[in-house]
Amino acid sequence: MNKKTEKELNEAIAADPDNAELYYELALVIYEEKYETGKPIHAHRASDELLKAIRLDPFNGKYHFLRVEYSAHTSSQHWEDELNRCILLKYKVKECKAILKTYEQVWGMGDDQDYIDKQFENVKKDPSAENYYFLGRCLRSAGDEDSLKYFNKALEIDPNHAASMASIAFYHQDRGMLREALKWFLNSIEHAPNDEIKATYYSWTGSLYEQMGDYQNTLDIRLKSRNELGGDYQRLAKIGDSYLKLERYEEAEKTLLEVIKDDIVGGNYHGTYCNLVVLYAQLQKF
C-alpha cells in the first residue's frame, strides 16, 4: 500500500475531519520532511496535527508516544509529560520508564566529578566551542564560578554559539543580575541554530521577563514565539496567563478556554483551571 502524500491526507481530512488516524498519518508525513528538507519547523507543524488526533482520540497512547519525539526538540518538560501520560494509558510502559530513567541519569551527571573530569579531558583533546560549552554546563550544574569562563571561551571560538549565550544568561540569572541575563537570552534567540531551539530560548526569555515583573514584554515575547514558530496548548496556556496578569480578562478567558479544549488529557488542566477561577472571581462570573 502506497503511503499518502501530505496533499492527499489533507484532502482525506477535509472529507472525514473526525478521523483521528488521518491526522496521525499527516503528522508522520510532515515530520519526515524535517529530515528531507532540513527545516526543523516541521516538528512544530507535525505536533499541531498530532494534537488534533489527540483531541479526537485522547486515550490512544500511540499518539502521545509520538509526541515524545516532537516535544523533545523544544522542552524536556513537554516530553516528560507525554511519557507519563503513556504510562497512565498503559502504552509501552517499560519503554517509557526506561526513557525517563535515562533522562534522569543524563541530567544528573552535571555535578558528578568523574563526569566533569571527562569534560576537561575532552577539551584537551578537542578545544572546540561545543566541548568548552559542555564543560561550562557541567561546572554550572556543580555551582562552580568558573563555568562563566568556559562559556566565554566557547564564544571566543564560535561567536554564534547560542547555547553558550543562553548558559551565560542563566549564570547571571542565578545571581540576580536579571538585566544582564536578559541581554544574553535575547542574543541566544537571534543566534539559535534551528526553530526548535529558538522556541526554547523564547520560552526562557518569557519566564525571565515574568520574573522581572514585566508582564507586557512577557506577553509580547510569547506571542512573537507562537506567531513565528507555531506551537501547542502549552504555549497558549502561558499566553493566557500573561493576559490574566495584565488584567486583559476577555482575552485571558478566550485563550484559557482554548487551552482546555486542546489539552484533553490534562497536562495544563490544573494550572489553567486555577487561572480561570482567578479570572472568574475578578469578573464575578460565579
**Confidence (pLDDT) at 261:** 66
- Is residue 31's pLDDT more than 80? no
Cell readout for 193 is 541554530
pTM of the model: 0.62
pLDDT digits (tens, 9 = 90+) for 62-109: 988 887 766 544 444 567 777 888 888 888 888 888 777 665 544 444
**CA-to-CA distance for 159 and 260, rounded, in angstroms?**
42
Axis-axis angle for helices 162-174, 195-211 (nearest 10): 20
**Confidence (pLDDT) at 33:** 64
The band of 19, judged by pLDDT with boundaries at 50, 70 and 90, is very high
**Confidence (pLDDT) at 250:** 87
pLDDT above 90 covers what percent of the chain?
35
Q: Which residue has the higher pLDDT, 259 or 72?
A: 259
- Is residue 118's pLDDT more than 70? yes
- Is residue 161's pLDDT more than 50? yes
Give the mean model confidence (pLDDT) for residues 237-257: 87
The band of 277, judged by pLDDT with boundaries at 50, 70 and 90, is low
Lowest mean pLDDT segment, chosen from 8-12, 48-52, 197-201, 210-214: 48-52
Closest CA to 28 of 15, 9, 11: 9
